[in-house]
């Protein structure tokens, strides 16, 4: 009987050691998984502004249709000696207005994509999102002679899937910190006051150069003058992103 208890005692001890070892191994595996999950949290995000103490801002213009508003805006930028700005161009518009696109390129302004079909990409499948971005990329590269790597999605609409697909295609999604709401303004002063009161260092300012905006031709010179009076310098979005850590926004879906 004593021998039986001794043998069982040894077996119990061995089993206890095995159990402890299993728990230890499981703990290591769990810790490794935790480390993996931490790295996997570094998901693509949209850029809204750049935290910096420097008084630099990016004027950005979306264009998706029309031919009346763009050239006057280019003339104002030239007259005001604003050498840096970023234009987000829809590819169908760019294809049908190569002369205006050529003016933007010759002026030295940065070109970003505004997608192909003007629809909410969050409602598309991954393959459809990829197709829309690639179509725009191909057309814009052909028309401008440069390959864009910034995109402002139609209507500013996106979700995690859109961000992921854009990132896979080498694009950074650009939003804005200050929205001029120029498309629904009732006069130029409304646009000027809104932009100049909300602008902050590292800001990305959303304006439009499509025919949907009626008052930007009058508002833009005042915006430029007032921001310069406040000590601001105008840079492209890419130059702005080089200033500091980027302020981004994640989405839940």
Active site residues per annotation? 62, 208
d(CA 43, CA 33): 17
Residues with Cβ within 8 Å of 89's Cβ and at least 6 positions away in sequence, in order, are: 63, 101, 104, 111, 112, 113, 114, 140
Both structure tokens of 62 = 């979306």
Q: From 252, 243, 228, 240, select the one nearest 80 (Cα to Cα).
A: 228
d(CA 142, CA 43): 30
d(CA 160, CA 13): 52
Q: From 233, 222, 249, 193, select the one nearest 52 (Cα to Cα).
A: 233
For every residue of 179-220, DSSP letters joined together read E--GGG-SSHHHHHHHHHHH--TTBEEEEE-STT-SSHHHHH
Q: From 160, 165, 218, 157, select the one nearest 193 (Cα to Cα).
A: 218
Do the Cβ atoms of 232 and 86 come closer than 8 Å?
A: no
């Amino acid at each position: 009987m004593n021998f039986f208890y001794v043998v069982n005692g040894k077996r119990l001890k061995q089993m206890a050691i095995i159990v402890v070892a299993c728990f230890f191994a499981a703990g290591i595996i769990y810790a490794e998984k935790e480390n993996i999950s931490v790295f996997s949290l570094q998901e693509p995000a949209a850029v809204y502004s750049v935290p910096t103490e420097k008084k630099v801002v990016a004027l950005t213009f979306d264009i998706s249709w029309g031919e009346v508003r763009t050239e006057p805006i280019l003339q104002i930028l030239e007259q005001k000696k604003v050498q840096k700005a970023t234009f987000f161009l829809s590819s169908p518009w760019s294809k049908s207005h190569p002369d205006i696109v050529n003016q933007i390129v010759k002026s030295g302004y940065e070109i970003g994509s505004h997608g192909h079909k003007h629809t909410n990409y969050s409602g598309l499948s991954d393959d459809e999102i990829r197709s829309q971005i690639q179509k725009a990329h191909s057309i814009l590269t052909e028309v401008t002679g440069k390959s864009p790597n910034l995109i402002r999605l139609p209507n500013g609409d996106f979700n995690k899937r859109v961000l992921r697909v854009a990132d896979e295609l080498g694009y950074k999604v650009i939003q804005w910190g200050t929205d001029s709401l120029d498309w629904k303004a009732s006069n130029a002063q409304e646009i000027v006051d809104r932009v100049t009161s909300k602008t902050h260092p590292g800001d990305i300012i959303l304006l439009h150069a499509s025919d949907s905006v009626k008052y930007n031709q009058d508002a833009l010179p005042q915006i430029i003058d007032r921001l310069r009076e406040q000590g601001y310098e105008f840079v492209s979005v890419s130059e702005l992103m080089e200033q500091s850590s980027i302020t981004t926004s994640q989405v839940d879906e």
